Structure formats: structure tokens, C-alpha cells
């Protein structure tokens, strides 16, 4: 563009702050600019609008052909240029360019601030600890430059995250342009209604108004009432509400959700944009209700790469291959995960019925190794002298504050113990061996980092131990992680306050056994995702094998969900004409039940899974009915099958049973309603589907698993099929429970009872691999006759779990099902859940009306 035209185009851009393009054109005519130049200006603007729409990143799904009014920063902008300048000091040019593009795209999907009325609903899907706050800060800066006035940020449900968000926005938006902003909240002060709300929004007040609040009913109610008192002035107040962690508290709640919608209803010009890395609940909102379903747009932020120092779910845990992918294109996860044995769990987390106040954790071998490794990592980072100056370890075993607090003395003792033994050759040998082992597992050179020898880090170790703080960060503690007053070395023990949104600076080691029942909870509890520049070779996570497998599944769900958004974007779909699919898991929910009430449900998938009963009714009729179902299955199996007996192992195996007998058994056997993964209808539907569509699971093996020690009595499934009753004591429970919980029925090796060869030393992963090799299409069902008394065996493990006699009126029949993983090209394995679009009325153009006038 020549100088004169560039000046005229800048004038048009400036007019767009206050007017729609059509009105802005009229203003150009008044200024005496010729029609040819105006046409050129409009063409230039339209070309930029198309460029914004067609940006390859971020991917987006948009309702209809939304008018692209915003094409990027304009001359005279204040907020974005100031923010860009701040960010340029710590971001690469590539990352800053990507941020500019993605924030421009999101602002372009909002309504023009000069619309008479509007109500936009959008969702931005990011990655855990990937810079979502920076993205929405950029969106706010550009929206402010474009005429939006009131900015409300819903910053999670905890004070820590709200405080952190407020401080970030002040430093990046307010401080660079202090005369442009009025603040209703402060880092240490949530919303308190100021006097005369109308004065903030009257025409005489030209400042932008910033309010950062917790998603707390009392706070939101005060905010709603305060906004209501300025209703006249809000008629021309374009408002942007950013909902950080938009799946938490916003969806399916009886207090928070209605209050957010109440605030939106009081704002004639409002844009609501949810930000989250776990959008499962948001994508399942009823689109036909007056709720917060993202009906106008869904945006997929680009994933930072490992080359940028970012660690995401796939990077750490890998994921399964999706339909149409090559295995070569899918990450299998870095060797940064260390297993916590199941036997360790009662040592670091009390059983459900145990009084948390009486619990004292034990420093197990795995916990000790993780902590010693953390101190060595901190020392090694001091040798390198690069990257984030902070060093944090996370210990997350329970939500109970009493459990968090119980860790203080054992951790402080461990720290003092190591301080006093640094001159002990045995201590040096053990630390050296641990450091050498971990250094070989992930060579520093693979991440472009400098290797650190043990002798180098050992010199720094005394100083690290002196500086290390043990912090209990929970809702009842006054101790908090504070990264604003110099470099931190801390072991943080906590629960929910550390599990969502809050950034743990310099996090390098995590010890994690906290169970979760839903994808979003699980994903948000993992604070180890994020940027690890300068120490990308050093992070480690200690967790159970089950949790590792769950995270891998969630990584697969994430990838498939994002691919839906990417694929449907190219097929002329929008959030009201397609619903993103979310793959199900037999043992995990997608999100909380209340958030799924309007979703379309489907059968779950069990390939490669081991499903087992753990809950039993105390009702005699219920127990006897299940005995009869098992006896009927065994009797029919004996009539026409190959049979193997291993009396020395208390075992009978019946091979090649028709699947119809298994389906009959599932129809007659009653699983307890608490056994979420054991649903007869879903199991049967899955078997039929595998038989029908993959010619698999047509035949089954049935194993009767008994006790080699007959002193506990025997149980006869059928004449000639008698086994010793097994002992399964129940977990301690409250007075007069209606059902009993045995927790674990099957041992790992029980999943391989029908395989040939020695399996006693195989891991669960190896057993699955061996089953795929030997019996790729044959299922296994194991039956256990559980002694009705089942007094607990007196061994250490039982004692720690506080077992009690089963004390049932009749012997119980336990059931285990082992499903082989289907072939990689099978299309029957997974089923999904999604939003229900059936009640949505989509407006379709009347083609016959085209020629009418």
C-alpha cells in the first residue's frame, strides 16, 4: 500500500472501533474519499477477513457464516501492543506469532461491540498448562482495543487460582496502561460491591472495567445484584466474560450455573467464552436449553510441541492409534513414568473408611526414591543454571487435609536424615545408583541439555536440603506456594487446591496415587503437563499402573475429540449441527453424572480389559440367584466342551464355550449397581457387536477358580465340578452396610489361567500381549465361590486395609471377565457419548423464497 492509501485504510480501521463496515464506509464518503478508493479499502478489509477465517491454526467450528469484523490489531491500539511487548521478552517469535493469530481468530468470532444487542457463546479448547491464560489475556487486550468495556473473568473455585489470575492480568493489562483500566477486584480481595455502579459504565467513564472473581455462589450473587443496579448504563456496555476452567462448577451445578446465566441475562451485549483443557462437560450441555452450550463456536488451540519444551498427555503417556492413522505417527510416551506398587497405596493414603485424622503415612521405597531424586534434580538444575529458577515436587495422595498434614513430620524427618548421612558411603552409593539409572533412561542430549555428573550435583545437595520447604497447600492451611519472592525449592503436599489451573513453577517430580472417576478430574489433577525448558530430560512421575493406563486412554480421547473438531470444520458443520464424540471407558466416566444428564449415551468398550465384581448384596435371595446362574452355566459347559482339571491349583477350565451361553449367564446373573464397570446390558451388547462385526468373542473359556486349601470348605458348581471356596474379606465399613466391598477379586495371573506356558512372572501388559497371541478372539470368564464368612487372613496387607469378615447369609459368586483386545483394524471396539442435538431447531433457508421481493 502507498502512504496515502495506507493512511486512508488506517482511518477506516479506526472507524471500525465505533461503527459497522457499512456505516464506516459512509463516514469515508463524508470525509471526501472517492468511490474507487473506498472500493479498494473494502476489498482489502474483506481479504483480511477471509485470511482470518482461513487461518490453519487455531482450528475452529463456527455457527453459520459469522461476520468477520475483526481482522487484527489496528493503528492506535494500546492494550495489545503493550502486552505483545511484554511477552516478546520471554517468547520466541514463532510462539508470539501463533498467539497473535489464535487470539485474533477468537476475537473475530465475537460480536462487533457496536451491535445493538448480542449474546455469544463460545468455547476454547487448550491443553493443560499450555498457556491458556496468556491466550485469553491476549483476547481481552484485543477486545479492549476494539471497544469492549466490561471484562469479567471467572477464575476457578479456589482463592489461589483467582489470586494468580488477578496478578497476571494486572501485570500484563493494567500496569502497562493504568489510565485505561478500573479494577473491581485485587489479588488479595475478591469482589466487594463498590458504591454507585452506574459511575463505572456511564459515558463519562472511558476506562475498561476489570473484575476477576471466584466461581462462588456468594460472590457471584453480589456481582449479579451490583450489575443489576446499573442496568440503564449497561445498554451500551459490550461485555466479555472469560470462564477459566469452564468445565468446573459452571456445568450441571444448582447454584453457580444459574448465577452465571443470570449475570449474562442482565448484560444486553455479552460474549461468553469458556476456556478449558478438559471440555467434556461443556460439549455435553443440552444445546436446546438456555444454557452455556458453545453454540456459536468451538476453537481448538494448537498444541505446543515437544521441541518447544512442552509436555502434554501424549508426550508422557502415549496414546492408542486412531482409525486411519499409522502407528508410526503416534507417540508411545517417554520413559518418565515410575510404578508405585499397589501394596504401597495403604501406606500413603488411608482406606476409605479409615479415620484420616489417625492416619500416619509411611515413607515407602518408591516415595523415598522420588523425593531423593527431586533433591538431586534441584541440585543438577543449579549446576546447569538455566530455565525456570523454581523447583517444585508434588505429592498428591488424597483430598483430605488431615492426610496432607500428616506428611509433614515424615518428610521433615527424611530431609534431616539425608542431611546427616551425606558422608555415609552407603548413602552416596544409593544416590549415585539412582541418579545414574535415571540419567541413562532419558539422556540429556536427547533434549539438547547438558549432562550433569553425580559429583557435580552432590556439591549442591547440602544447599538444596537447607532451602527445601515442606508445604501443605490445602483449603485449611495458611501455607501457600509463593513464587513471587525469589527462587523456591518446595515439596508441596496437597489436594484440590493444587489440582486445577494453578501453575506449579519448576515442577519436576510428582508422586501421585489419587484415584479419579472421570476424565476431566483425572486430567486436571495432573500438574506435570506444561513447559519444561532447561530441564526437559529430568521430570519423572511416580504413579500406579492403573493410573498410567487411564491417562493413556484420556490422551486417546483428547486426540479423537480434537480430530472431530478439525474434521467437521471442513464439512460445513457447526456446533448446532454436529456433536463432538467422546470415547467411553468401562471404568471411568467422561465427567460427573450431573454434567452428563442430557448426553446421548452408548455402549462402552471392553477390549483388552479385565472386568471383575467387587460389591455384593447382603440379601440371601440375591446371592442364591447368582449361584444358580453360575451352576447353570457350568452344567451347560460340561455337556459339550473340552475340559481341563488342575486339582493341585484348585482349578477347572472349560474351553470353547459358545458365546450364547455367556450371554444367558449375563442375563441371569445380577451385578451390584455400585459395580459401574459391570453392566450386563453393556457387556452383552459389546459381545454381540464383536461377534457380529469382527467375528470375535464367538467362543469363550470358563475357569472355576478355587482354593487349594480345602479346610475352608468346597462349593459344587455341577456334579464333578467342585472347588474349594476362596476367602475374600471385606473392607471395613460403617454400621449395618447394605452391601459389602471386597475391592479385588482377581489376581493378575487369573487373567491368564487359560493360556499355556508359564505365566507366573509375566506383567499385566505381557499377559495381554500373550493373550492376543494365543487367544486373539476368545474371551475368558472366571467364577469364584466366595466363602460367606471369609474371615480376614492375618497378613500385613490385609491389616493395613482394615479387613473384616464378609459375613454374608450365603456364599457369593464372584465373576471376572477378560476380553482380548481386538485387531487394530477393528471398527467395533469403541462407543461414544455426545450432546443430544435432536431437540435443536436449526433454521434452514427456504429456497423457494429466493426470487421473491
Confirm if 179 and 207 have CB atoms less than 8 A apart. yes
Q: Minimal CA–CA distance to 538: which of 528, 548, 549?
A: 528
Share of the chain above pLDDT 90, in %: 45
Query: So what's the pLDDT on residue 477?
Result: 66
Query: So what's the pLDDT on residue 330?
Result: 78
Separation between Cα atoms, residue 805 and residue 716, nearest integer Å: 22
Across-strand partners of 124? Answer: 275, 299
The mean pLDDT value for 297-325 works out to 79
The mean pLDDT value for 71-78 works out to 90
The mean pLDDT value for 115-127 works out to 91
Share of the chain above pLDDT 70, in %: 87
Query: So what's the pLDDT on residue 129?
Result: 76
The mean pLDDT value for 762-772 works out to 75
Query: So what's the pLDDT on residue 820?
Result: 87
Confirm if 534 and 512 have CB atoms less than 8 A apart. no
Separation between Cα atoms, residue 629 and residue 621, nearest integer Å: 12
Beta strands in 301-345 (DSSP E): 310-311, 337-339
Query: So what's the pLDDT on residue 712?
Result: 81
Handedness of CA 221, 226, 231, 235 (dihedral sign): negative
The mean pLDDT value for 164-178 works out to 96
Average pLDDT, the chain: 85
Q: What would the pLDDT profile of 449-482 be if each residue is shown by its tens digit? A: 999 999 999 999 999 999 999 998 776 667 777 7
Query: So what's the pLDDT on residue 764?
Result: 64
Beta pairing, strands 582-583 & 832-835: antiparallel
Which of 69-78, 213-222, 237-246, 756-765 comes out lowest in average pLDDT?
756-765
Which of 338-352, 736-750, 786-800, 838-852 comes out lowest in average pLDDT?
838-852
The single residue listed with the C-alpha cell 488506517 is: 10
The band of 738, judged by pLDDT with boundaries at 50, 70 and 90, is confident
pLDDT at 826 over 90: no
Q: Which three cell numbers stand for residue 767?
A: 499377559
Give the DSSP H/E element, type plus range, for residue 91.
none
Contacts of 439 (CB under 8 A, 6+ apart): 451, 452
Q: What would the pLDDT profile of 499-541 be if each residue is shown by its tens digit? A: 555 678 899 999 998 777 788 777 777 777 777 888 999 999 9
Buried b (16+ CB within 10 A) or exposed e, 787-821: bbebebeeeeeeebbbbeebebebbbbbbbbbbbb
Handedness of CA 389, 393, 398, 400 (dihedral sign): negative
Handedness of CA 426, 427, 430, 432 (dihedral sign): negative
Across-strand partners of 817? Answer: 611, 781
The mean pLDDT value for 546-574 works out to 76
Q: What is the DSSP letter of 357?
A: G
Query: So what's the pLDDT on residue 573?
Result: 62
Q: Does domain 77-112+119-283+295-303 have CATH number 3.90.1300.10?
A: no
Q: Which three cell numbers stand for residue 272?
A: 461468553
Amino acid at each position: 500500500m502507498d502512504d496515502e492509501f495506507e493512511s486512508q485504510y488506517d482511518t477506516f480501521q479506526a472507524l471500525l472501533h465505533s461503527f459497522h463496515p457499512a456505516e464506516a464506509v459512509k463516514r469515508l464518503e463524508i470525509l471526501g474519499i472517492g468511490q474507487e478508493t473506498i472500493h479498494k479499502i473494502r476489498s482489502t478489509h474483506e481479504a483480511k477477513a477471509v485470511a482470518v477465517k482461513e487461518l490453519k491454526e487455531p482450528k475452529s467450528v463456527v455457527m453459520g457464516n459469522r461476520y468477520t469484523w475483526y481482522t487484527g490489531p489496528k493503528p492506535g491500539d494500546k492494550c495489545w501492543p503493550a502486552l505483545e511487548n511484554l511477552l516478546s521478552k520471554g517468547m520466541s517469535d514463532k510462539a508470539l506469532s501463533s498467539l497473535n493469530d489464535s487470539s485474533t481468530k477468537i476475537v473475530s468470532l465475537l460480536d462487533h461491540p457496536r451491535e445493538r444487542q448480542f449474546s455469544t457463546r463460545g468455547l476454547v479448547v487448550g491443553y493443560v498448562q499450555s498457556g491458556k491464560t496468556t491466550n485469553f489475556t491476549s483476547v481481552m487486550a484485543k477486545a479492549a482495543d476494539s471497544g469492549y468495556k466490561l471484562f469479567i473473568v471467572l477464575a476457578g473455585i479456589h482463592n489461589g487460582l483467582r489470586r494468580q489470575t488477578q496478578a497476571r492480568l494486572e501485570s500484563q493489562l493494567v500496569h502497562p496502561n493504568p489510565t485505561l483500566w478500573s479494577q473491581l477486584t485485587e489479588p488479595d480481595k475478591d469482589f466487594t460491591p463498590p458504591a454507585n455502579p452506574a459511575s463505572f459504565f456511564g459515558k463519562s467513564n472511558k476506562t475498561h472495567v476489570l473484575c476477576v472473581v471466584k466461581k462462588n455462589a456468594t460472590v457471584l450473587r453480589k456481582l449479579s445484584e451490583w450489575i443489576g443496579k446499573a442496568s440503564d448504563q449497561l445498554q451500551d456496555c459490550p461485555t466479555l466474560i472469560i470462564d477459566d476452567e469452564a468445565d468446573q462448577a459452571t456445568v450441571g451445578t444448582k447454584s453457580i450455573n444459574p448465577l452465571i446465566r443470570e449475570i449474562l441475562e442482565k448484560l444486553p451485549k455479552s460474549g461468553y467464552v469458556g476456556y478449558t483443557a478438559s471440555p467434556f462437560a461443556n460439549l455435553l450441555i443440552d444445546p436446546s436449553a438456555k444454557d452455556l452450550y458453545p453454540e456459536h463456536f468451538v476453537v481448538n488451540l494448537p498444541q505446543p510441541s515437544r521441541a518447544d519444551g512442552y509436555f502434554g498427555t501424549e508426550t508422557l503417556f502415549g496414546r492408542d492409534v486412531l482409525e486411519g492413522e499409522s502407528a508410526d505417527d503416534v507417540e508411545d510416551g517417554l520413559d518418565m513414568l515410575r510404578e508405585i506398587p499397589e501394596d504401597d497405596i495403604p501406606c500413603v493414603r488411608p482406606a476409605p473408611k479409615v479415620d484420616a485424622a489417625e492416619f500416619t503415612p509411611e515413607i515407602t521405597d518408591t516415595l523415598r526414591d522420588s523425593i531423593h531424586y527431586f533433591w538431586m534434580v534441584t541440585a543438577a538444575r543449579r549446576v546447569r543454571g538455566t530455565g525456570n529458577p523454581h523447583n517444585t515436587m508434588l505429592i498428591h495422595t488424597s483430598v483430605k487435609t488431615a492426610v496432607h498434614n500428616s506428611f509433614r513430620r515424615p518428610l521433615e524427618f527424611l530431609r534431616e536424615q539425608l542431611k546427616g548421612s551425606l558422608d555415609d558411603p552407603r548413602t552416596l552409593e544409593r544416590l549415585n545408583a539412582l541418579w545414574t539409572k535415571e540419567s541413562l533412561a532419558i539422556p540429556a542430549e536427547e533434549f539438547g541439555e547438558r549432562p550433569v555428573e553425580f559429583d557435580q550435583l552432590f556439591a549442591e545437595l547440602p544447599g538444596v536440603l537447607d532451602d527445601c520447604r515442606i508445604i501443605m497447600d490445602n483449603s485449611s492451611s495458611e501455607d501457600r506456594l509463593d513464587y513471587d519472592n525469589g527462587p523456591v525449592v518446595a515439596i508441596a503436599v496437597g489436594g484440590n487446591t493444587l489440582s486445577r489451573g494453578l501453575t506449579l513453577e519448576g515442577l519436576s517430580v510428582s508422586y501421585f496415587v489419587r484415584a479419579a472417576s472421570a476424565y476431566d478430574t483425572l486430567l486436571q489433577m495432573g500438574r506435570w503437563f506444561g513447559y519444561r525448558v532447561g530441564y526437559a530430560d529430568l521430570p519423572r512421575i511416580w504413579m500406579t499402573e492403573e493410573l498410567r493406563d487411564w491417562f493413556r486412554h484420556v490422551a486417546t480421547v483428547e486426540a479423537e475429540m480434537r480430530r472431530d473438531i478439525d474434521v467437521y470444520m471442513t464439512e460445513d458443520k457447526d456446533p448446532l449441527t454436529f456433536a463432538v464424540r467422546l470415547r467411553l471407558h468401562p471404568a471411568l466416566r467422561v465427567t460427573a453424572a450431573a454434567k452428563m444428564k442430557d448426553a446421548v449415551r452408548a455402549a462402552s468398550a471392553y477390549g483388552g480389559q479385565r472386568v471383575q465384581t467387587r460389591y455384593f448384596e447382603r440379601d440371601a435371595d440375591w446371592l442364591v440367584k447368582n449361584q444358580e446362574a453360575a451352576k447353570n452355566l457350568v452344567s451347560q459347559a460340561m455337556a459339550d466342551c473340552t475340559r481341563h482339571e488342575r486339582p493341585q491349583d484348585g482349578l477347572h477350565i472349560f474351553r470353547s464355550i459358545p458365546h450364547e451361553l455367556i450371554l444367558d449367564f449375563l442375563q441371569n446373573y445380577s451385578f451390584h449397581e455400585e459395580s459401574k464397570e459391570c453392566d450386563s446390558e453393556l457387556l452383552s451388547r459389546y459381545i454381540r457387536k464383536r461377534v457380529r462385526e469382527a467375528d470375535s468373542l464367538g467362543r469363550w473359556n470358563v475357569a472355576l477358580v478355587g482354593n487349594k486349601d480345602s479346610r475352608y470348605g468346597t462349593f459344587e458348581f455341577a456334579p464333578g465340578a467342585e472347588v474349594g471356596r476362596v476367602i475374600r474379606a471385606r473392607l471395613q465399613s460403617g454400621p449395618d452396610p447394605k452391601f459389602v466391598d471386597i475391592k479385588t477379586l482377581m489376581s493378575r495371573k487369573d487373567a491368564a489361567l487359560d493360556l499355556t506356558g508359564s505365566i507366573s512372572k509375566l506383567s499385566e501388559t505381557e499377559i495381554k500381549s500373550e493373550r492376543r497371541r494365543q487367544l486373539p478372539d476368545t474371551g475368558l470368564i472366571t467364577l469364584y465361590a466366595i466363602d460367606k464368612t471369609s474371615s480376614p487372613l492375618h497378613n500385613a496387607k490385609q491389616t493395613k486395609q482394615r479387613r473384616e469378615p464378609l459375613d454374608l447369609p450365603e456364599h457369593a459368586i464372584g465373576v471376572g471377565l477378560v476380553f482380548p483386545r481386538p485387531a487394530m483394524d477393528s471398527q467395533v471396539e469403541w462407543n461414544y457419548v455426545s450432546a443430544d442435538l435432536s431437540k435443536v431447531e436449526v433454521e434452514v433457508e427456504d429456497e423457494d423464497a429466493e426470487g421473491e421481493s
